[in-house]
Amino acid sequence: MAAGPGKCFLVTGPPGVGKTTLIIRVFESLKASNPSLKLQGFFTREIRQGSERVGFEVVTLDGRKAPLASTTISSPESFRWPTVGKYKVDIASFESLALPELQVREDTNLFVIDEVGKMELYSSSFFPAILKILESNIPVLASVPIPKSGRDIPAVARLKNHPGATIFTLNASNRDSVKEQMHSQLVDLLAKR
Ligand SMILES: Nc1ncnc2c1ncn2[C@@H]1O[C@H](COP(=O)(O)OP(=O)(O)OP(=O)(O)O)[C@@H](O)[C@H]1O
């Protein structure tokens, strides 16, 4: 196993710049170049009704889905859902799908975590699971939001300050080159393990 701090690749950039798309493409090309890699984790995708975004779902790397947040959850009436903007966050649903994916296993090669955001962090078990992964020295590919306030949420600040962190800031003109860079760095890293 590699010595020193585990590698943590962080993708950031403004909403809609293509963080999820980039992570999916890197994941797919890694998988295609080496089908025996053991990859674990999840993506966050928006749910649309026509042109309107009505929520988010989490999707595991092998395609299982669960709701993360929605504008349309209403029952039970008396339940006070945690919210991010207009979305009600279904912490139990997120946890039931995502937390098992974040369990460290002996043979895992890479964890994919899209994203470390406010909704996901409502789960009090989510960030501790990430810290455990970092302690395990297994590489991580994660996306983190750019804060509206200019100040990172504490969990994101902690990831960015991790000694093994490499931060890629996406914009519309660099996303293809960042994808190539990230893919080749990960191929090198995974070949060493
Ligand atoms: N490299 C690309 N070329 C063309 N279109 C792209 C590319 N990357 C992303 N897109 C398009 O931009 C839109 C937003 O992409 P994506 O969901 O990946 O962004 P995001 O940064 O993850 O967004 P969010 O901040 O909401 O999580 C999608 O419709 C996607 O198809």
The C-alpha angle with vertex 180 and arms to 177 and 186, in degrees rounded to 5, equals: 140
Residue 53 counted as domain residue: no
Asked whether residue 85 is assigned to any structural domain, the reply reads no
Q: How many domains does the chain have?
A: 1
Q: How far is CA 189 from CA 33, 67, 137, 140, 186, in A?
A: 14, 33, 12, 11, 5
Residue pLDDT, tens place only, 81-131: 999 999 999 999 999 999 999 999 999 999 999 999 999 999 999 999 999
Structural domain includes residue 60:
no
Looking up residue 138, the CATH number of its domain turns out to be 3.40.50.300
The number of the ligand 1 atom at minimal distance from the alpha carbon of 23 is 18
In ligand 1, the atom with minimum distance to the C-alpha of 145 is 25
More confident residue, 76 or 73: 73
Contact 139, 111 (CB under 8 A): yes
Residue 117 within any structural domain of the chain: yes
CA 18 to centroid of ligand 1, rounded, Å: 3
Ligand 1 site-directed mutation target among 21, 29, 56, 173, most atoms within 8 Å of CB: 21
Which residue's alpha carbon is at the smallest distance from atom 9 of ligand 1?
A: 18
118 lines ligand 1 (CB under 6 A): no
For residue 36, tell me if it sits in a domain.
Answer: yes
Confidence of residue 79 (pLDDT cuts 50, 70, 90): confident
Percent of the residues in the chain that have a pLDDT greater than 70, as a whole number = 96
**If you average pLDDT over every residue of the chain, what do you get?**
93
Judge whether 67 lies within some domain.
Answer: no
In a domain, 87, yes or no: no
54 belongs to a structural domain? no
- Is-contact 95 101, C-beta < 8 A? no
Q: For residues 104 and 144, is the Cβ–Cβ distance under 8 A?
A: no
Residue span of the structural domain in which 122 resides: 8-44+100-192
Q: 144: closest CA among 132, 122, 164, 160?
A: 160
- The alpha carbon dihedral of 1, 36, 177, 145 has a sign of negative
